[in-house]
Homo-oligomer: A and B are copies of this chain.
Amino acid sequence: MSIKNKKETKQKLLDAVGKILIEDGFQNLGINAVAKKAGISKVLIYRYFNDFDGLLSSFAEQKDYWLNEGSAFTDFLDHAKENDMRSAAPKLFQNMFNDLIRNRELQEIKRWELFENNPVIENIGKMREEIGIKQMKKVAEILKSDEKEIQETTAVIIAGLYYLALRSKTTEMFNGINLRTKEGQERITRAIETILNKLF
């Protein structure tokens, strides 16, 4: 609106970060790119966020993916009764996969985690790791499954869903499955159900 407005300018810069992640990928996320995309001098990034990492921290704080991603899981666990747990568990992982496929911003952050040790990204990873462990413990507790390797097996499956979602950006086919079509994605979600049903 106004010509000189700190709050608005900061928001424009933060929005530019998200735009670049979606439109250009995290590898093109830099101070110059953000300033250009926001149409604002990069000097203000240093002035308002001190640092490029400061900008990223504010971005992460605003978006707090790791918490949101956990919330759906937590809600589910709170409302799940023991008897409907087994039938609902596959849905949980299916939702996780669908979210990952659709949310390109989150996808880029996961891709980022996978190849750089940026302190900001690292912190997000640690927080999400803690939440993940708590969730798994709760799942194991509720399921009362005789399966001792819940943590390990779910790790493999979750990792698989991450990889498939990320891979869909750079390739169509993986192991004969088209990762970019609804049909291919449904083959994956059906497989999730099959695996979980046989496992627990």
Contact = CB atoms under 8 A, between A and B. Distances in A.
Copies in the complex: 2
A200 to B, nearest CB: 9
Given A164-B155, A194-B149, A171 B136 contact: no
Contacts of A125: 170-171
Q: A interface, how many residues as a size bin? A: 35 or more
A9 B40 CA distance: 48
A80 to B, nearest CB: 19
A170 B132 contact: no
Contacts of A174: 129, 155, 159
A106 B1 CA distance: 52
A102 interface: no
B114 A190 contact: no
B136 A176 contact: yes
Interface in A155-187: 155-164, 166-167, 169-171, 173-177, 187
